[in-house]
């Protein structure tokens, strides 16, 4: 069977594999890759002992069935949790993914990663430092790998990441995530040295897209699951969309 055509980096698989597999697991990345995606967004947080791993929520309840805040658990206790069964029997036993396993996945396939920093309360700076340090080191070991992009809703996490990247002269870029748009957002992105703004699709208008581009920032939009919205966004010149629909790029090309 021939492989599907690979999509360009404008199409970003949200949480690794959108709705096709349990979010933020390696199974999700495999599903995204098999569908033709070569760009992946995922959420990164820290265990109590500082191991970066993938999780969207602050608690483990929804995706592992285990009660409690993720940040209070050690990685040794997290690594064996089942993060697949909630999604379907086929994924039973799928573990939580460490950042290291995702970096290895990306290196082997030359995939592009957008690592969204999802710090626990009070852990923004630490999360920024740990993830930026790990990714900068990985990039030295993998000079041919596409440099990941670090994004966050937390300016504090981005500032901490930025300090690490500057110190190490790492070729990683930053993006500020925002659910809403106003002029402060542009100022904040600039002050952080971000190269892009990642906005909720409802917050994007043609005038705002123009203002963002005029400020020298790229614009990516989450989470876009309808083709008419995507078509509009392309017309407004956005640089990328995060989608849960792995079938969407093929529909657009049809």
Tell me which residues touch ligand G3P (CB under 6 A): 14, 41, 43, 56, 116, 151, 177, 198, 222-223, 242
User: Of the listed pieces 26-34, 39-47, 159-167, 201-209, which binds Mg ion according to CB under 5 A?
Assistant: 39-47
Nearer to Mg ion, 181 or 222 (CB): 222
Work out whether 23 is an interface residue with Mg ion (CB under 5 A): no
Nearer to Mg ion, 187 or 244 (CB): 244
* Residues 254, 239: Cα–Cα separation, whole Å: 21
Q: What is the 3-state secondary structure (H, E, C) of 55-121?
A: CCCCECHHHHCCCCEHHHCCHHHHCCCECCCCCCHHHCCCECCEHHHHHHHHHHHCCEEEEEECCCC
Q: Is residue 200 flagged as an active site residue?
A: no
Among 116, 150, 162, 238, binds Mg ion (CB under 5 A): 116
Min CB(118)–ligand G3P separation in Å: 7
The alpha-helical segments, DSSP class H, found in the chain are 26-35, 61-64, 75-78, 99-109, 124-141, 155-168, 183-191, 206-214, 227-235, 248-253
Cβ–Cβ under 8 Å, residues 43 and 24: yes
Q: Is residue 14 flagged as an active site residue?
A: yes
User: Of the listed pieces 46-54, 109-117, 192-200, 232-240, which binds Mg ion according to CB under 5 A?
Assistant: 109-117
The set of catalytic residues is: 14, 56
């Amino acid at each position: 069977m021939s492989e599907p055509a690979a999509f360009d980096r404008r199409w970003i698989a949200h949480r690794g594999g959108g709705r096709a597999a349990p979010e933020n697991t390696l199974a999700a990345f495999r599903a995204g890759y098999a569908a033709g995606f070569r760009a992946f967004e995922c959420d990164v947080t820290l265990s109590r002992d500082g191991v970066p791993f993938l999780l969207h929520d602050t608690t483990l309840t929804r995706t592992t069935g285990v009660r409690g805040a993720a940040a209070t658990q050690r990685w040794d206790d997290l690594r064996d949790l089942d993060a697949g069964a909630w999604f379907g029997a086929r994924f039973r036993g799928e573990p939580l993914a460490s950042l290291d396993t995702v970096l290895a996945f990306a290196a082997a396939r030359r995939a592009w990663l957008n690592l969204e920093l999802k710090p626990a309360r009070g852990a923004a700076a630490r999360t920024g430092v740990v993830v930026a340090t790990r990714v900068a080191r990985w990039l030295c070991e993998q000079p041919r790998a596409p440099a990941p992009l670090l994004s966050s809703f937390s300016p504090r996490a981005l500032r901490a990441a930025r300090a690490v990247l500057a110190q190490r002269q790492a070729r990683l870029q930053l993006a500020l995530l925002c659910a809403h748009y106003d002029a402060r957002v542009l100022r904040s992105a600039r002050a952080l040295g971000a190269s892009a703004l990642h906005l909720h699709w409802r917050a994007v208008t043609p005038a705002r897209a123009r203002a963002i581009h005029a400020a020298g920032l790229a614009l990516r939009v989450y989470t876009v699951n309808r083709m008419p919205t995507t078509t509009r966004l392309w017309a407004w010149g956005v640089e990328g969309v995060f989608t849960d629909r792995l079938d969407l790029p093929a529909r657009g090309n049809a």
